[in-house]
Structure 1
């Protein structure tokens, strides 16, 4: 019975929309635990560049899955799902409400809809995908993929290097396309009763928030953080190397562009990404529509949560519990 399943809250929205602040406010008021659902905040080297919760914020309520993986190891959706479920179970065992917070739609879908069970990919297929990506670029690899697995290629942007490489290695390593595997089903939805809060801010407010946050990142050590990342000499195809702002700051460190131009590009690219995030959230149900509460305003911090707004949020959360 669904009603017998334990409750979990999803707090979702585009980058810089105020998700973390809202999740923290809810956790403080409910005794909940905030669990990361952002694909970049899992990397320990990227606290500043990914706007991970600060040590002071983490001290105000329990947090999980933040900064738990080295940048040298790519985090898969399957890995995150397993870790998130373990964190949710630990929260429940301690009497806390799991509050999953992030902007990675595929992570939420892995929980609420399930994940295709794809067999392990042979090392030669993975190596071939990385070599082709490095030698020919994502657009060329996308064309190769389209010839062998057109159904998956049609779902991917030619610039989405990580997902193109993943789709290619699945096709080459298993003989079946990623779309085919996904259509076969897999793990199924996690046995939890999900409700969601979706933050859907106006575009102009979000653009301003992105610019403000970028300035704050530069002021609090983003360039030094990327310098330390570059010193590891990691594979440039790794997800952490493509975190928003990382390629631009790497170019600054290489003397290829000034900070001002890097800032302009980083803000622009992040804004374009938030458009894709917002589109994804509008077209994919995070939970039963009757259990989704949408906030059409940017919430940048607890100080900006009006009493009425927060009362509405907490009323929604109380019904979940």
Structure 2
């Protein structure tokens, strides 16, 4: 990361702050604190969502979308911007984020990207592979295959990709197989031609929050308990009343399937809540692993044992050259 302050003149490349971290790591509060600090120093800041659940209007509670009070007077964008009936892909989000970031820059302000969805962040910064539309007939055949058969076929048709995937990763196996069958080229070849990324057009100021794991898991449990108290069950009832396709991302979001089973009478509320809390911890673990190993080595990782707000802000501000 550059040693410059985020307030410095970045020449032809305007600044983009990025605060990434697993769920319940405190990244939303950190983004607000950073924005408020920048505004105290005379530079307006805007927070742009990079969380794949918080994009959906239907998941106000279960995505822990910031309330008006939690936004701290800072402009927040792309929070609740998609109706649950419309899937928001990484490409969809990146397109919208590019537009928002460009508008923030045009106004002379600093965009602060905040979230933990690695695919979203990578797509925005690095671009996306220009894979042509998949032949619907190919997709239908591939998606109907049992995962064991799909993986065996992929091992023959794209062995490099198969070797990189778990034999149980049905979604990625199907995607790789449909790409090679529909386009005649393996997915890796398309990914080498990424386009549309903004990484080279901005001066990036990243920070990765990596709290101590057991403390993080405890916060995950507390967060889901808070969600239940704030109306998570009613939120799922409202989603079920819409009769949406169960394959939509909003219907597969953490907490929705678990609480839906309770509403259907297939589990107790206690069991459903426990299962959802466990899913939250597992998701946080996956995010933690991705953020530790996948971003560039020069992205600062802020490791901490507790969630003392003052101490965390001191570390964060130092990373952005503000102290």
Question: SS at 2:84's partner residue?
Answer: coil
Per the normalisation by structure 1, the TM-score is 0.86
Deviations 1:47-95 (A, max 9, x none): 1011111133346100111111122222111111111111111111222
Deviations 1:151-190 (A, max 9, x none): 3344444555544444344334323332331134434553
Deviations 1:110-159 (A, max 9, x none): 233332111223344444455x27xx5x5665555445434334444455
Farther-moved stretch of structure 1 (115-124 vs 253-262):
115-124
Structure 1 counterpart of 2:234, from 211, 224, 235: 224
Following the alignment from structure 1 to structure 2, what is the Cα–Cα distance between the partners of residues 105 and 206?
A: 18
1:246 is matched with 256
CA distance 1:205–1:194, shift in 2 (3 Å): same
Coordinate RMSD, CA, aligned = 2.5
Following the alignment from structure 1 to structure 2, what is the Cα–Cα distance between the partners of residues 203 and 292?
A: 18
1:91 is matched with 104
**Residue ranges of structure 2 left out of the alignment (5+ in a row):** 1-9, 39-43
Corresponding pairs, count: 308
Deviations 1:29-55 (A, max 9, x none): 213111111111111111101111113
1:15 is matched with 23
**1:11 Cα deviation from its structure 2 partner:** 0.5
Farther-moved stretch of structure 1 (140-149 vs 245-254):
140-149
CA distance 1:280–1:293, shift in 2 (3 Å): closer
1:122 is matched with 135
Question: SS at 2:114's partner residue?
Answer: strand
2:300 is matched with 292
Matched, 1:53 2:66: yes
Matched, 1:179 2:179: no
**Residue ranges of structure 1 left out of the alignment (5+ in a row):** none
Structure 1 counterpart of 2:32, from 20, 24, 28: 24
Q: Does the CA contact (< 8 Å) of 2:32 and 2:72 recur in 1? A: no
Farther-moved stretch of structure 1 (153-162 vs 238-247):
153-162
Matched, 1:104 2:107: no
Farther-moved stretch of structure 1 (111-120 vs 66-75):
111-120
Structure 1 counterpart of 2:318, from 294, 315, 320: 315
2:76 is matched with 63
